[in-house]
């Protein structure tokens, strides 16, 4: 097993970062041949998804997220804070991903990347944990 944390800066919502290289790097450092990499973010207003990191698709992704969970919709939480939509978007998109690897290579397709979504309103320093289990 091998665990490593990666720290990076984000812009405010919605910022999408390709973090695939961190996952690839953790698998390489682990020296394990086959297994599963769990990618996890402990940030409650961020998310992790798998998608092709292509510019126009990122625009579409932001549009879909904004339609499914609008920025303002009479949220109760916004009587005590201002980021209910950030929490809700994070919950729907998810905070963890499991990506198998075989012969040292992630099982990701040629057009699949691991994407970190900054859903919080302000630029931040964020982190993900990559945990590699295998043999």
Q: Which of 9, 12, 82, 92 binds a second copy (CB under 8 A)?
A: 92
Q: Which stretch binds a second copy (CB under 8 A): 6-14, 21-29, 42-50?
A: 42-50
Cα gap 4→125, rounded to integer Å: 16
- Residues of this chain, 4-33, that bind a second copy according to CB under 8 A: none
Helix (H) or strand (E) holding 2: strand 2-10
| Contact indicator for 27, 101 with CB cutoff of 8 Å | yes
Beta bridge partners of 6: 128
| Contact indicator for 38, 80 with CB cutoff of 8 Å | no
Binding site for a second copy (CB under 8 A): 1, 3, 34-36, 38, 40, 42-44, 49-52, 54-57, 59-61, 63-64, 68-69, 73-77, 79-80, 84, 87-88, 90-100, 102, 107-109, 111-112, 129, 131, 133-135
């Amino acid at each position: 097993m091998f665990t490593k944390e990666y720290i990076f800066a984000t812009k405010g919502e919605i910022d999408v970062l390709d973090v695939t290289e961190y996952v690839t790097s953790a698998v390489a450092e682990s020296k394990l041949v086959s297994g599963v990499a769990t990618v996890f973010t402990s940030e409650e207003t961020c998310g992790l998804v798998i998608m092709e990191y292509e510019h126009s698709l990122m625009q579409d992704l932001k549009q879909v997220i904004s339609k499914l969970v609008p920025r303002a919709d009479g949220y109760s939480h916004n009587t005590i804070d201002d980021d209910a939509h950030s929490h809700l978007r994070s919950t729907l998109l998810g905070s963890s991903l499991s990506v198998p690897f075989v012969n040292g290579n992630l099982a990701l397709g040629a057009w699949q990347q691991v994407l970190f979504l900054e859903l919080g309103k302000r630029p931040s320093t964020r982190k993900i944990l990559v945990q590699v289990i295998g043999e």
